[in-house]
Amino acid sequence: MTETRASFWDEPAETMSRDALRQLQRRRLGWQVARCHAASDLYRAKFREAGAEPGDIRGPEDLARLPVVTKEELRADQAAHPPFGTFFVAEPPTWRELHPSTGTTGVPVSTIWSAEDVATITDFTARTMWSFGVRSTDVVQNAFAYGLWVAGMSVHYAIARLGCLVVATGTGVTTDRQIEYFRLARPTVFLATPSYALHIAERLRERGIEPGSLALRLGAFGGEPGTETPTTRAKIESGLGIDAFDYYGLAEVGPTFASECSAKTGIHVAEDHILVECVDPDTRRPVPDGELGVLVFTHLTREATPMLRYWSNDYARLSTARCPCGRTHARAVGGILGRHDDLLVFKGAKFYPIQVEKVVRGLAPLADEFRIEVRRQRGGSMVETCTVVAECVAAPPAGLEGRLQQALRAELGVTPAIRLEPYGTLERTTFKAKRIVEL
């Protein structure tokens, strides 16, 4: 393998024609559908609901006949059939790792990896990291959580597979300690959530540490959207002195299985292992290339707890056009554009926190942190009052509120209230930021 940025981790898999990829997916899907139907009560019930037999799912185009599976269903299934529910398919002696995933409700859903799953996950995770430029000579500081959020472990294995030195800081150390390791171990690659990357950049500035004095050259940021928001990407890149790439995953599916390549044209999904559909949220049938829909994932190779049509809740636009990098695997162009759950409906306008982020981070006197305080109608999703809370790095210049309001109106189609706070008022996170505050 030559160590150039243009090369591939697994060239045949990553650059095969769409026709060849479809054939491979058809074969693997047939295997997966049959074993899920044979071994899982949860999936057998899905087939019954659809009035379908495994033989009816002859290829990816037939998948929409099956209902989707949601995280809530998995959680309810595990509660009704403790401890692991009825969606594990491989035999327990093959199991190697248990990964409970956190969720907003706090009750975790347990995902299991077989020995073969660990090997597959390690390989496609190494592939994603190779695609954004990690090579064996790199030192990688991994600030993805090693605990309940499973990306820490899979990325750790992949770093070892790539032949790099790993600095396994996780999220369990202070921000100043992360910075100490930047100086001590001289990592060239940094992995974290985008909110945490911004927080570290802010701390470097406060301490007067020049990013150029560190060895960092690139970073990949996942666990929440934002890296592909141009203003956020620019702040991470200048704040850490790196090239920043978007990294995407879901605990039940990857954990991390999609990333930007060196061309930065959207996140490529490892489609030979994970089938992706972009579907209409109401009909749950695929939308044409380039149209907005919710991503739905199906495991083609996962053994222990495979997902058939897992509802991600994430909005994106898919492109199957060949990327300038040469990869043929589908890309979510612009990354994740919003979470289905985070949609705010205010005075008839619909918007996502990521749109507020784009505006706040585009106005120079404002710091990176922000919140959206909402009060909802009793039992409804409609927002009655909405206040964007932002921080100003110095005394607010005259007219700042007006400019912020104008920029928000242009982006959201509606004008929320605004409250400017002194710099440092809002809590920083080492993990995923909570943008919406319910009053």
Binder to Zn ion among 302, 327, 329, 371 (CB under 5 A)?
Answer: 327
* DSSP codes, 131-187: HTT--TT-EEEE-S-SSSSTHHHHHHHHHHHHT-EEE--TTSS-HHHHHHHHHHT--
Question: Where are the strands (E) in 261-309, listed by range?
Answer: 267-269, 274-279, 292-299
Count of chain residues binding Zn ion (CB under 5 A): 5
Per CB under 5 A, does 325 bind Zn ion? yes
Residue type for position 146: Y
Per CB under 5 A, does 264 bind Zn ion? no
C-beta closer to Zn ion: residue 269 or 304: 269
Q: Could you tell me if 267 and 165 are in contact, meaning their C-beta atoms sit under 8 angstroms apart?
A: no
Binder to Zn ion among 261, 344, 372, 389 (CB under 5 A)?
Answer: 261
Task: State which of positions 366-405 bind Zn ion (CB under 5 A).
Answer: none
Binder to Zn ion among 57, 276, 323, 356 (CB under 5 A)?
Answer: 323
Closest contact distance (angstroms) between CB of 160 and Zn ion is: 25
SS3 content of the chain, % helix, strand, coil (to 5): 35, 25, 40
For residue 336, count other CB atoms closer than 10 A to its CB.
24
Per CB under 5 A, does 329 bind Zn ion? no
* Bridge partners for 346 per DSSP: 349, 383
- Angle at the Cα of 145 (from 141 to 148), degrees rounded to 5? 160
**Residues in Cβ contact with 191 at an 8 Å cutoff, skipping those fewer than 6 apart:** 140, 141, 142, 143, 144, 155, 219, 220, 221, 222, 247
C-beta closer to Zn ion: residue 260 or 303: 260
C-beta closer to Zn ion: residue 68 or 261: 261
What phi, psi does 150 have (nearest 5°)?
-75, -5
Output DSSP code: residue 68: P
Closest contact distance (angstroms) between CB of 249 and Zn ion is: 17
C-beta closer to Zn ion: residue 50 or 321: 321
Closest contact distance (angstroms) between CB of 276 and Zn ion is: 15
- Quick one: which segment of 36-44, 253-261, 292-300, 413-421 binds Zn ion (CB under 5 A)? 253-261
d(CA 239, CA 164): 24
Closest contact distance (angstroms) between CB of 139 and Zn ion is: 25
C-beta closer to Zn ion: residue 133 or 211: 133
C-beta closer to Zn ion: residue 263 or 407: 263
Output DSSP code: residue 329: S
Closest contact distance (angstroms) between CB of 5 and Zn ion is: 12
C-beta closer to Zn ion: residue 94 or 262: 262
C-beta closer to Zn ion: residue 318 or 386: 318
Per CB under 5 A, does 267 bind Zn ion? no
Q: Which long-range contacts (CB under 8 A, 24 or more apart) does 99-108 make?
A: 99/150, 99/153, 99/251, 99/255, 100/148, 101/148, 101/149, 101/150, 101/251, 101/252, 102/148, 102/149, 102/251, 103/71, 103/75, 104/341, 105/75, 107/75, 107/79, 108/148
d(CA 54, CA 45): 12
C-beta closer to Zn ion: residue 278 or 323: 323
Closest contact distance (angstroms) between CB of 7 and Zn ion is: 13
- Quick one: which segment of 136-144, 210-218, 254-262, 307-315 binds Zn ion (CB under 5 A)? 254-262
Closest contact distance (angstroms) between CB of 131 and Zn ion is: 7
Per CB under 5 A, does 263 bind Zn ion? yes
Closest contact distance (angstroms) between CB of 324 and Zn ion is: 7
For Zn ion, what does the binding mask look like between residues 208 and 247, x meaning CB under 5 A? ----------------------------------------
- Quick one: which segment of 166-174, 246-254, 261-269, 354-362 binds Zn ion (CB under 5 A)? 261-269
C-beta closer to Zn ion: residue 131 or 430: 131
Task: Kindly tell me the burial class for residue 157, based on how many C-beta atoms sit within 10 Å of its own C-beta (0-12, 13-18, 19 or more).
Answer: middle
Q: Which residues bind Zn ion (CB under 5 A)?
A: 261, 263, 323, 325, 327
